[in-house]
Amino acid sequence: MYKIAVTASKGGTGKTTTAINFAHAAALMDIKVLLVDCDSQGSASLAFDLNSVQGLSDLLLAGQVDIYNIRPNLYLVGSGRSDIYMVERYLAQQNEYEYPLARALGRFTGIEMIILDCSPSINIINSNILSYVDSVLIPVSMDYFALEGAALTLKIIKDANANRDNDINLLGILPTFFDVRTRISKKILEDLKEKYSDKVFDTAIRVNTQIKESQMNRKTIFEYAPYSHGAYDYYRFVKEALDRLGR
């Protein structure tokens, strides 16, 4: 089973957009995927028109959860109904507080790929996620703060590796919000490639309004605008990612 966290310590870099479109593209390619919304904002759940439903917080606090079959081959664990504060407080009280999520998700079988959409915060849920996954995918938007944020994200992953038997695989760094018209986008992409070389995916996700619209319409980009730049870029990226995974 592939266990992949979509994570970045900077907000608004396209984590949720990447998680939902990666999950749906993989499902369309005949991979059985479970998407887990690990952000109390619940954006990934909302993108599939499921808000205020059971989810990760219920799984962690009550030990059971409804899993929604949202598309053929695609399943969702929502973010849940409890306040993030409750979950954080509960986790903080556990012995080995970094492992409840791994134990809870470890029960799910028959799934080929789990994709976890992370919040940008530094919290106990995110350290649980880094104890559980085997790969991370880091979306970096084409702005200076996000570039700096990538370094912090990689530092957090390195720290997590110190407590693990095997290192987390950096699946890759995905350039997002690439604006072909601006020099800053090109410059940041160059810097990113200079710093992280072949860890950066060849595909950059371009700015595309239809991506925003697709979410408003509770659809993935492949359903809402299959011939858009957004669908093309996400499809190309998913092919690359699956290649890197050897799938």
Ligand X SMILES: Nc1ncnc2c1ncn2[C@@H]1O[C@H](COP(=O)(O)OP(=O)(O)OP(=O)(O)O)[C@@H](O)[C@H]1O
Binding residues for ligand X (CB under 6 A)? 11-17, 39, 43, 119-120, 176-177, 205, 207-208, 211-212, 215, 230
- Position 16 contacts Mg ion (CB under 5 A): yes
Other beta carbons within 10 Å of 160: 19
Q: Name the minimum Å distance from CB 115 to ligand X.
A: 13
- CA dist 239 and 151 (Å) reads 26
> Contact with Mg ion (CB under 5 A): which of 43, 135, 208, 228?
43
Q: Which is nearer to ligand X, 140 or 246 (CB)?
A: 140
The end-to-end CA distance of the chain, in Å, is 11
Q: Name the minimum Å distance from CB 138 to ligand X.
A: 10
Within a 13 Å sphere around the CA of 167, how many CA atoms are in the beta-carbon half? 9
Q: Which is nearer to ligand X, 75 or 178 (CB)?
A: 178
- Position 57 contacts Mg ion (CB under 5 A): no
Nearest alpha-carbon partner for 105 in 218, 2, 245: 2
- CA dist 96 and 241 (Å) reads 32
Q: Which is nearer to ligand X, 68 or 177 (CB)?
A: 177
> Contact with Mg ion (CB under 5 A): which of 3, 10, 15, 229?
15
The one-character DSSP state at 112 is S
